[in-house]
Amino acid sequence: MKITEGKKKTNVVLQDKEEISITALDGNIKVIVKCLNNTLHIDEKTKEDLPVEDEEEKAIQAMKDYLKKQKKGK
């Protein structure tokens, strides 16, 4: 990642598989920029979306843990 700063402007250059998260000062909006295969992917999330996403991530991790235990039991 390369960051250059001017008086009122900051430039960020992302390399492949790097990610940057930008949050509004009041915390209501979060923007995530990912560089995948030299293409920028932008995802905007509101404050209301974040708790739902946390629950989804917990459910996915619980399923992965369950599958791992099942695999070990065979």
pLDDT tens, 28-39? 888 899 999 999
CB 16 within 8 A of CB 36: yes
Both tokens of 47, joined, read 């404050």
Q: Determine the pLDDT at residue 74.
A: 62
Whether the CB-CB separation of 40 and 31 falls below 8 Å is answered with: no
Residue 36: predicted pLDDT:
94
Query: Could you report the per-residue pLDDT of 20-74, keeping only the tens digit for each?
Result: 988 888 878 888 999 999 999 998 877 776 677 778 888 999 999 999 988 887 6
